[in-house]
Structure 1
Amino acid sequence: MRLLFVCIEEARELGRQAASGRCPHCEGKVVAIDIESKWKFCCLPIAYIDKRKYFCTLCSRRLVLYDYC
């Protein structure tokens, strides 16, 4: 017997703000976007996750911030 589980992710943008630094690919400005993700299992919410993602305004690449210790 196989079971099929259906999970749905809904995301919405909470806000945008300018971030410091420049894109390493095109030297464009960087913007920080706050995103709220909601995971649902059969229409029941199971998780809420807030994330901050960084994007270049010129080339639209997603940038990853590495934290060195």
Structure 2
Amino acid sequence: MTARHARRWARTVLWYLRELTGEAEYDRYCERHRRHHPQAPVPSRREYDVLRTLHREAHPQGRCC
């Protein structure tokens, strides 16, 4: 395996882990927040998690369990 292939593989694994853990979702939220509300401060990761949990509780979707 060449160094180029190793870097590509590492980037793919990193992308997958960020998607799996939700880190990429927070990054997308921050970008969208900055675009639509440029004057407002961006919530911290902890604040975002609380907002997301409150939203999920207020808007339940059909779940299997």
TM-score (norm 2): 0.22
Greater helix content: 2
Q: Which has the higher contact order (CA 8 A, sep 6+)?
A: 1
Greater strand content: 1
